[in-house]
Amino acid sequence: MKNLSTFKSQNFFSFSKKNWDSVVDQFNGSIFYSYSYIKYLELCNIDKNFKNYSYIIFNNHKPLVIVLLFAEKHNKKKQISIGNNTIQCPLYNPILTKDEIENLNKNILDNIDKTAVKENCILARFQISSFNFLVDKKKYFNFYEDYGYKNSLSEKSWFNFKCNKSLIIDLQEEKDLLYKNVRNTNKRYINKTRKDTSLFILDQKNIDKNLFKKYGEFHNQNKYNKRSFENFEFNLSLINEGKQTIFLCLSNTEIIGSLVILNLNEKAYVNSICKINNCVKVFPVHYLFWSSIEYFLNKKYKYFWIGEKANKNIKNLSDAEKNLSFFKEGWGGTEVQWTQVEKKFYE
């Protein structure tokens, strides 16, 4: 792999969904690398001058690495990013050696620089995915550190990294042990809500379109980030593909809480939580959280990604951020360190 000139890069738009996802499956990638999720990012960012530069590198028709790469406008400035979050670490073919990966890294980083210059981006931001980190610590931990992608922004108010750890539940543990690790107050909330409400799961085998419509109305009534009809149609397509599962808590026939999980290749990721404001006697979010853990445990999934944990040493954390982090810590998840890096191009 010393000479990369013989290799071929094929951009995202030249792939069919089936062909792109076949490479993701071959590499055991998470939902974030899937064709449908990338298209969903495009749909959600149509007003942000969002351009998709993702590609796959091949050698004699053998896929080597998936690179997710996007340019967008954020706060009137251009950045290399992935939909207001951070670029996931490139996903490698599991058969590649360390030397082969290092050779590819140089090519990938050079292409990121060129794309940033082309789009007049002032920043490239990267995050090594927690799921990738679990798969192979050595391969991913030093990916960008070796190449100097660790300069901080001069405008610290633009991006403030408030997290550097994720909380992940190992679903290969026994159910009794998982439940034992749940915070005691959460257990009381779960038991109370289970008695007084009902659970409905929208998944690939059980799609109630009327209830899904009610979920859309519930979401837009109770969340600040309203979604369009096209967004919900895409959510429905993800459920049909088996890449999204929605857990609903109902009081009689009224939805009082929802939890959306993205799922692929035995990895489940908490995507969205919502509840009505006047819940005082029941706790739908706690009930849905444990119900989703049970669901994916029964489906023999490997990991359940709870979310990032706030860095308590940061002085400007809001009460909302502190409370959310406290909630996430109450489920017995394992803290997984991940690397966040950035590179400034222009003032």
Question: Which domains does the chain carry?
Answer: 4-164+339-344 (3.40.630.30), 173-301 (3.40.630.30)
Q: According to the model, what pLDDT value does residue 80 have?
A: 80
Structure tokens of 328?
């996430």
Please name which of 55, 40, 37 lies closest in space to residue 114, comparing C-alpha atoms.
55
In one-letter notation, the amino acid at residue 254 is: E
Contact 87, 55 (CB under 8 A): no
β-pairing, 334-337 vs 163-170, is antiparallel
Q: According to the model, what pLDDT value does residue 136 have?
A: 59
46: exposed, middle or buried (Cβ count in 10 Å: 0-12, 13-18, 19+): exposed
Mean predicted lDDT score pLDDT of the chain: 84
Q: According to the model, what pLDDT value does residue 299 have?
A: 96
- Can you give the C-alpha Rg of the chain in angstroms? 21
Q: Rounded distance, CA 169 to CA 201, Å?
A: 21
Q: According to the model, what pLDDT value does residue 164 have?
A: 74
Contact 29, 261 (CB under 8 A): no
Q: Which residues of the chain have pLDDT under 50?
A: 141-143, 146-147, 157-158, 347
Distance of CA 77 to the CA centre of its chain: 23
What's the distance, Cα to Cα, between the start and end of the chain in Å? 36
Contact 345, 151 (CB under 8 A): no
Question: According to DSSP H, which parts of the chain are helical?
Answer: 17-26, 35-44, 98-118, 130-135, 137-141, 175-180, 184-196, 209-222, 229-240, 284-298, 319-328
Buried-state track 163-176, b at ≥16 Cβ within 10 A, e below 16: bebbbbbebeeeee
Structure tokens of 46?
């149509």
Q: According to the model, what pLDDT value does residue 41 have?
A: 83
Q: Per-residue pLDDT tens for 118-175?
A: 988 887 777 666 665 555 555 554 445 544 555 555 555 445 567 778 899 999 999 9
Residue whose pair of structure tokens reads 């939909």 in the numeric block = 83
